[in-house]
Amino acid sequence: MTDAPQVLLAHHLKALKLPTMLREYDKIARACAAEGVDYPRYLLRLVEAEIIERERRMVDRRIKAAKFPTVKSLDSFDFPAFPDLNKALVMELARSEYVERRENIIAVGNSGTGKSHIGLGLGLAACQKGVSVGFVNAAAIVHELIEARDEKRLLRLQRQLAAYKLLIIDELGFVPLSQTGAELLFEVFSQRYERGSTIVTSNLPFDEWTSVFGSERLTGALLDRLTHHVHILEMNGESYRLNQSKRRARKAKTDAAAD
């Protein structure tokens, strides 16, 4: 009979979907007893443990739903390697308040200067703030849009892309788009205008975007919408990946000479 309360407690906590409290209540009770903590504070600790774990699971679900190709944080970004990048602005944007204001971010610069890392880092920060995030490669999403149109499911995909509070479109400009692809991608931007935030990373300056969209009229209309409420991160400089390769090559040469 002495086990009856524990059995009933386990049953009730499972029914209430409080797995952390079920797992931790005994351990926290012992710690509180040893510290002389009263019952209200014991209950507070137990509830806080449940809330913290629930929020962690929710963040994990948002990260998974975002479909990041890899998870990168701004903490691991090498800001000293890019002195021209406005670090203060990046860290301000990491608070994700721009999402509530439905503002956009454009990271423009040479290949290998960390634009995708910044996009991923801001996306991760937004997930941690409770924002629904989607991450897509520009060429890949255009291919998917065309495929969806051909299979009569374009409207569903467009609604999905429009529903994200933050949509990250990576590597715009690496591949020229067909007329159909350009028009479909323009529609994505148009549907999100002043309804959600968009982050775009591109290796091309704005005056070369026409080479991607193939139409000055379409490019002008796109930039008009995208830059209406925008933060621009200029990320020019030497390729970080190239510099890393050079350092490794120099180190290998030095090590070989030392041997």
The least confident of 62-66, 130-134, 218-222, 255-259 is 255-259
Q: Please enumerate in sequence order all residues whose Cβ is within 8 A of that of 174, keeping only pairs 6 or more positions apart, or say none.
A: 138, 139, 203
- Does the predicted TM-score (pTM) go above 0.85? no
Tokens 């190709």 identify what position?
A: 69
State the pLDDT at residue 1: 43
Give the residue among 139, 136, 185, 183 at the shortest CA–CA distance from 164: 136
State the pLDDT at residue 5: 82
State the pLDDT at residue 253: 52
Residue 241 reports pLDDT greater than 80: no
Topology adopted by domain 74-243: Rossmann fold (3.40.50)
Q: What is the 3-state secondary structure (H, E, C) of the chain?
A: CCCHHHHHHHHHHHHCCCHHHHHHHHHHHHHHHHHCCCHHHHHHHHHHHHHHHHHHHHHHHHHHHHCCCCCCCHHHCCHHHCCCCCHHHHHHHCCCHHHHCCCEEEEECCCCCCHHHHHHHHHHHHHHCCCCEEEEEHHHHHHHHHHHHHCCCHHHHHHHHHHCCEEEEEEECCCCCCHHHHHHHHHHHHHHCCCCEEEEEECCCHHHCHHHHCCHHHHHHHHHHHCCCEEEEECCCCCHHHHHHHHHHHHHHHHHHHC
- The pLDDT tens digits for 99-150 are 999 999 999 998 888 999 999 999 999 999 999 999 999 999 999 999 999 9
- The pLDDT tens digits for 181-195 are 999 999 999 999 999
State the pLDDT at residue 6: 84
Yes or no: say if 208 and 82 are a contact pair by the CB < 8 Å rule. Answer: no
State the pLDDT at residue 16: 87
Give the residue among 250, 233, 248 at the shortest CA–CA distance from 115: 233
Per the prediction, the chain carries an average pLDDT of 89
**CA–CA gap between residue 183 and residue 215 (Å, rounded):** 10
State the pLDDT at residue 69: 96
- The pLDDT tens digits for 48-84 are 998 889 999 999 999 999 999 999 999 999 999 888 8
State the pLDDT at residue 160: 96
% the chain with pLDDT above 70: 90
Which one has a higher pLDDT value, 133 or 235? 133
Which one has a higher pLDDT value, 168 or 22? 168
Which one has a higher pLDDT value, 197 or 3? 197
Residue 251 reports pLDDT greater than 80: no
Residues of the chain with CATH 3.40.50.300: 74-243
Residue 242 reports pLDDT greater than 50: no
Residue 152 reports pLDDT greater than 90: yes
State the pLDDT at residue 254: 58
State the pLDDT at residue 60: 96
